[in-house]
């Protein structure tokens, strides 16, 4: 049984992430966001379902498609938007941009433009937890393409032999840029790799936020109780190309239609109505308030200054 309050929280996060992503796509097309922007649309249930099971002392590491993880971990929309617009008020003073947001105050050790780059960082965080004898858990969000990098195997092996409290979440959206998973591996069910390292592993429907939450809760409890790492594969699909400028013509239309019929935001909305008893009016009120918060965040980011040349040089000199 889920309380209405919990389901409202879950839906608020799903809708906030979707709104953030859609507005950022728009800002990118207006030339307001420089570099790349990799939307998380279609994958929201994974960040939300997993992070709903985490506490204040837990850590996450994230991917190049990481805004959803940051928001699900409690990031402030103003500072997120400012970061993407390269402004001084952003989480990393605008120096991280879309792919490198970090917020240590919420245990977010950072998004990462290097595919697979967050895996060893998360394993390191779990090692720290373990050496200090703490109760925390580290969650590594990573992607199907990253599992073919050597670092994935090395990290899983270390996590296993050191029995670390780490949940490795592979967001399997079936593509690495335009390469379908069937062309990059003979084991498209990525969770099947875990047992080779002695790691408990399973696969879950990544579009169903409650299924993700329930499975993640179990896995997190397992990590906390000292029974070592868990590998969770969440199968999903992105709702467009690899980044904003990629039309994604290589993605089969029938598959896209299937996954759109399982849109994680609509699934979460349905749960809030059916299991939480929320009315259409209540939900619309919630959606309107999220849209307004995002509008305010855009205004905040647009009006924020960039670092001055001197401020920038002072930071660069430290490294």
Q: Among 176, 230, 265, 278, which residue interacts with ligand TPP (rule: CB under 6 A)?
A: 176
The Cα–Cα gap between 258 and 266 comes to 13
| Nearest Cα to Cα of residue 58 among 120, 131, 140 | 140
Q: Among 242, 263, 268, 294, which residue interacts with ligand TPP (rule: CB under 6 A)?
A: 242
| Nearest Cα to Cα of residue 27 among 247, 299, 289 | 299
- Considering the complex, state which of residue 64 and residue 73 has its C-beta at the smaller distance from ligand TPP: 64
Residue 97 neighbours by CB under 8 Å, 6+ apart: 33, 34, 35, 83, 84, 86
Q: Among 39, 42, 107, 145, which residue interacts with ligand TPP (rule: CB under 6 A)?
A: 145
Applying the rule CB under 6 A, the residues between 22 and 81 that interact with ligand TPP are 63-65
Could you give the 3-state DSSP secondary structure of residue 271? Answer: helix
- Considering the complex, state which of residue 75 and residue 115 has its C-beta at the smaller distance from ligand TPP: 115
| Nearest Cα to Cα of residue 276 among 209, 206, 219 | 209
Compute the least distance from the CB of residue 41 to ligand TPP, in Å.
12
How many residues touch ligand TPP under the rule CB under 6 A: the total is 16
Compute the least distance from the CB of residue 69 to ligand TPP, in Å.
12
Strand partners, 201: 231
Q: How many CB atoms lie within 10 A of CB 87?
A: 21
- Considering the complex, state which of residue 61 and residue 304 has its C-beta at the smaller distance from ligand TPP: 61
| H helix intervals, the chain | 4-29, 44-51, 67-72, 77-84, 118-132, 150-161, 181-184, 209-224, 253-261, 264-274, 280-303, 309-317
Q: How many CB atoms lie within 10 A of CB 22?
A: 14
CA distances from 8 to 4, 21, 152, 271 (A): 6, 20, 35, 9
| Nearest Cα to Cα of residue 268 among 206, 210, 202 | 210
Compute the least distance from the CB of residue 9 to ligand TPP, in Å.
25
Task: Scan for tokens 């003979």, then name that residue.
Answer: 186
- Considering the complex, state which of residue 109 and residue 119 has its C-beta at the smaller distance from ligand TPP: 119
Q: Among 11, 28, 37, 175, which residue interacts with ligand TPP (rule: CB under 6 A)?
A: 175
Q: Is 187 in the site for ligand TPP (CB under 6 A)?
A: no
Q: Among 10, 84, 146, 167, which residue interacts with ligand TPP (rule: CB under 6 A)?
A: 146
| Nearest Cα to Cα of residue 62 among 47, 76, 75, 48 | 47
Applying the rule CB under 6 A, the residues between 96 and 125 that interact with ligand TPP are 113-116
Compute the least distance from the CB of residue 86 to ligand TPP, in Å.
20
- Considering the complex, state which of residue 61 and residue 78 has its C-beta at the smaller distance from ligand TPP: 61
Segment near ligand TPP (CB under 6 A); pick from 75-83, 139-147, 195-203, 260-268: 139-147
Task: Scan for tokens 């991917």, then name that residue.
Answer: 63
Residue nearest to ligand TPP (CB): 145
Q: Among 177, 187, 313, 315, which residue interacts with ligand TPP (rule: CB under 6 A)?
A: 177
- Considering the complex, state which of residue 148 and residue 163 has its C-beta at the smaller distance from ligand TPP: 148
Residues at the contact surface with ligand TPP, assessed by CB under 6 A: 63-65, 113-116, 143-146, 173, 175-177, 242
């Amino acid at each position: 049984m889920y309380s209405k309050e919990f389901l409202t929280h879950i839906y608020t996060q799903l809708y906030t992430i979707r709104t953030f992503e859609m507005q950022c796509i728009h800002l990118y097309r207006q030339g307001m966001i420089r570099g790349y922007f990799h939307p998380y649309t279609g994958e929201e249930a994974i960040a939300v379902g997993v992070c709903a099971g985490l506490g204040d002392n837990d850590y996450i590491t994230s991917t190049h498609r990481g805004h959803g993880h940051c928001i699900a971990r409690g990031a402030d929309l103003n500072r997120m938007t400012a970061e993407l617009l390269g402004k001084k008020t952003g989480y990393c003073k605008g120096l991280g941009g879309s792919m490198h947001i970090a917020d240590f105050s919420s245990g977010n050790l950072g998004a990462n433009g290097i595919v697979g780059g967050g895996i060893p960082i998360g394993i390191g965080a779990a090692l720290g937890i373990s050496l200090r004898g703490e109760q925390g858990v580290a969650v590594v969000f990573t992607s199907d393409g990253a599992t073919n990098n050597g670092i994935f195997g090395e990290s899983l092996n270390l996590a296993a032999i050191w029995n670390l409290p780490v949940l490795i979440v592979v967001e399997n959206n079936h593509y690495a840029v335009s390469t379908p998973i069937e062309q990059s591996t003979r084991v498209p069910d990525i969770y099947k790799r875990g047992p080779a390292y002695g790691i408990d592993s399973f696969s879950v429907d990544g579009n169903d936020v409650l299924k993700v939450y329930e499975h993640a809760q179990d896995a997190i409890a397992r990590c906390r109780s000292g029974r070592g790492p868990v590998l969770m594969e969440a199968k999903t699909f992105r709702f467009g190309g690899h980044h904003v400028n990629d039309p994604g013509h290589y993605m089969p239309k029938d598959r896209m239609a299937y996954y759109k019929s399982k849109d994680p935001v609509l699934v979460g909305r349905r749960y809030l109505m059916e299991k939480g008893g929320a009315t259409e009016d209540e939900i619309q009120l919630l959606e309107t308030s999220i849209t307004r918060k995002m509008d305010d965040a855009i205004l905040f980011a647009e009006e924020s200054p960039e670092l001055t040349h001197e401020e920038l040089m002072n930071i660069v000199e430290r490294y």
